[in-house]
Amino acid sequence: MEVYIVKKFLSLFLTFILVISVVFAIPVPAFSETSTQIQEDQQLYDNLADIGSIMKYIKDNYVEDVTYEQLKEAALKGIFSSLDEYSTYFTKEEFKDFTKNTYGTFSGTGMVLAEKDGKIVVISVLEGSPAEKAGIKSGYILKAVNDKSIEGMNINDVVNMIIEEEGTKVKVTFDVGGATREFELTRQIIRVNPVSYKIIQGVGYIRIQEFNENTTSSITKALLYMDKNNVNRIILDLRDNPGGLLTEVVTVANFFVPKGVVVTVEKKDGEDEVYYSYLNNPKYRLAVLINGNTASAAEILAGAIQDTKVGILVGEKSFGKGTVQSVVPLPDGSGFKLTIARYKLPSGRYIDKQGLKPDIYVASTQYTPSIKFNGTLKVGSKGNDVKILQKHLNILKFNAGPEDGIFGPKTANAVKKLQKKAGLTPTGVFDKNTYDAMVKMLEELNNKDNQLDKAIKVLNS
């Protein structure tokens, strides 16, 4: 992580620029300026003059009271929001919260959240956490915290609402497949153990939840266990892994990726940083599990393994987060996060917005039932309950047709198929007994892991 020192530029040639001088921080160049640079600087000063004039006009004429500090924060947030989804300006309080250490030990619920398409989504839950014990799953869309809607809120503000003192309770509300589900969780001390491992059907299984400062030491223990048991076929489960520390993923890659480039951090100034593996003889046959929540550092490891052909990727296309952010503190306690580079894999391809395509595509069967029984449904019924029913029938491959919320003959026929399979009288009417049978089938489906099964089959062939 790079940190730059930012100094204030004090304009002396326009009175209203004095306002700007306490608002904007501008780097002072340490080199002689060319003609082009002088022109660009002049354009910058002119733009600042315009902004200063507007801010002063707002301050003097806006019907409500407003401070220059408020205007500065709004202006900076606007600037960063125009760049990319990962570049952000933080106020003093936001920056303090952002820089809290979330690697190792903290008090919370164990949910890993991310912002997707304007929604706050659970991308994974930590093992042994309150969230896992309550049954919260990847893909749940967060709607409210303690009955307060989080719509339009910054993800850092949402996280701060959830992470508080150990022993206190928090109520979280989710949208799960169109149905609302609520959980009351008791916060506890979360000790992040990023790696778990076991042997399945003679194949080593290692799950890496994230790349934090404990990952390398934990992987070392896992591989020592595999070596002790003479296991050289390894499944690396990187599903729902949001990434983490670049240094950790490079170190982990040195256990698996053959000698050569692991990743290149490509910068605008051309001064790229290249990270290498020094492994002469890879000894493991690998299959790597990925899905739509495999991101950033996790994509670096998976991509390097795929590019160097020491393993195959199984599952679904990865997230596609391949950029590097620099966190810059400012003198007043605020700060910002700016995208300054992008990752390039050994083959020269980029991760960002592209993601990784698996060598063997296997759709996930992991699904948590989200349907509630709100009354009998039959031909002629309409509404959201019917739409949710149709969705679940289609998940179970009973072919209910379009999920349009209209209970027609095709939906009735799908219900009959479900009832026959469950040993019920095939009436085509969705009643309480049919609901119970559906939930049981969905739970059985959720207990199957087609992606893992496929990886085991491939490595054992």
- The per-residue DSSP string of 299-351 comes to HHHHHHHHHTTSEEEEES------EEEEEEE-TTS-EEEEEEEEEE-TTS-B-
* Residue spans of beta strands (DSSP E) within 161-200: 169-176, 179-186, 188-191, 195-200
Residue 112: which domain range? 105-191
Mean pLDDT of 316-326: 92
Given a contact cutoff of 8 angstroms between Cβ atoms, the answer to whether 26 and 43 are in contact is no
179 and 231 assigned to the same domain: no
168 and 221 assigned to the same domain: no
Total domains present in the chain: 4
Pick from 191, 215, 239: which residue ends a domain?
191
Of all residues in the chain, the percent with pLDDT exceeding 70 is 88
Model pLDDT for residues 195-238, shown as the tens digit of each residue = 999 999 999 999 999 998 889 999 999 999 999 999 999 999 99
Residue 284 has a pLDDT of 97
For residue 85, is pLDDT > 50? yes
CA dihedral 131, 134, 135, 141 (to 10 degrees): -60
Residue 4 covered by a domain? no
Q: Partners of 184 in the beta sheet? A: 171
Say how far residue 100 (Cα) sits from the centre of its chain. Answer: 18
Pick from 191, 209, 239: which residue ends a domain?
191
Residue 29 has a pLDDT of 43
Residue 366 has a pLDDT of 67
Distance (Å) of CA 405 to CA 162, 382, 390: 35, 5, 8
Q: Which of 13-17, 129-133, 154-158, 251-255 has the highest mean pLDDT?
A: 251-255
Out of 21-25, 164-168, 289-293, 307-311, pick the least confident. Answer: 21-25
For residue 93, is pLDDT > 90? no
Residue 31 has a pLDDT of 47
Query: CATH no. for residue 380?
Result: 1.10.101.10
Q: Band of the pLDDT at 369, cuts 50, 70, 90? A: low
For 128, the token pair is 């042994």
217 and 299 assigned to the same domain: yes
Given a contact cutoff of 8 angstroms between Cβ atoms, the answer to whether 346 and 307 are in contact is yes
Residue 154 has a pLDDT of 79
Which residues, at least 6 apart from 57, have a Cβ–Cβ distance to it below 8 Å?
A: none
**CA 455/CA 445 separation, integer angstroms:** 18
Residue 250 has a pLDDT of 97
Phi (first) and psi of residue 362, to 5 degrees: -135, 120
Model pLDDT for residues 161-185, shown as the tens digit of each residue = 888 888 999 999 998 877 889 999 9
For the four alpha carbons of 69, 74, 79 and 81, in that order, the dihedral sign comes to: positive
Given a contact cutoff of 8 angstroms between Cβ atoms, the answer to whether 305 and 234 are in contact is no
**CA 182/CA 176 separation, integer angstroms:** 10
Pick from 149, 174, 191: which residue ends a domain?
191
Mean pLDDT of 58-78: 89
For residue 97, is pLDDT > 90? no
DSSP label at residue 429: -
Of 7 and 124, more confident: 124
pTM of the model: 0.69
* Contacts by 352-357, CB closer than 8 A, 24 or more apart: 352/320, 352/321, 352/322, 352/323, 353/320, 353/322, 354/320, 354/322, 355/299, 355/317, 355/318, 355/319, 355/320, 356/290, 356/294, 356/299, 356/302, 356/303, 356/306, 356/313, 356/317, 356/318, 357/313, 357/317
Residue 279 has a pLDDT of 97
Mean pLDDT of 401-413: 95
Mean pLDDT of 350-372: 86
Distance (Å) of CA 350 to CA 185, 269, 420: 40, 18, 50
Residue 271 covered by a domain? yes
For residue 128, is pLDDT > 90? no
Q: Is 4 exposed, middle or buried (0-12, 13-18, 19+ CB in 10 A)?
A: exposed
Phi (first) and psi of residue 9, to 5 degrees: -95, 125
Model pLDDT for residues 244-285, shown as the tens digit of each residue = 889 999 999 999 999 999 999 999 888 899 999 999 999 999
Of 413 and 71, more confident: 413
232 and 254 assigned to the same domain: yes
**CA 399/CA 392 separation, integer angstroms:** 10
Residue 319 has a pLDDT of 93
For residue 301, is pLDDT > 90? yes
For residue 458, is pLDDT > 90? yes
Q: Band of the pLDDT at 429, cuts 50, 70, 90? A: very high
For residue 360, is pLDDT > 60? yes
248 and 147 assigned to the same domain: no
Of 372 and 19, more confident: 372
DSSP label at residue 427: -
131 and 207 assigned to the same domain: no
Rounded to the nearest integer, the mean pLDDT of the chain is 86
Q: Band of the pLDDT at 104, cuts 50, 70, 90? A: very low
Residue 367 has a pLDDT of 66
Give the residue among 154, 152, 113 at the shortest CA–CA distance from 136: 113
User: What is the maximum span of the chain, computed from C-alpha positions, in angstroms?
Assistant: 87
437 and 354 assigned to the same domain: no
| Catalytically annotated residues | 296, 321
Mean pLDDT of 135-151: 91
Model pLDDT for residues 19-45, shown as the tens digit of each residue = 333 333 334 444 445 677 777 767 777
Of 106 and 267, more confident: 267
44 and 183 assigned to the same domain: no
**CA 393/CA 195 separation, integer angstroms:** 36
**CA 422/CA 433 separation, integer angstroms:** 10
183 and 200 assigned to the same domain: no
Residue 172 has a pLDDT of 94
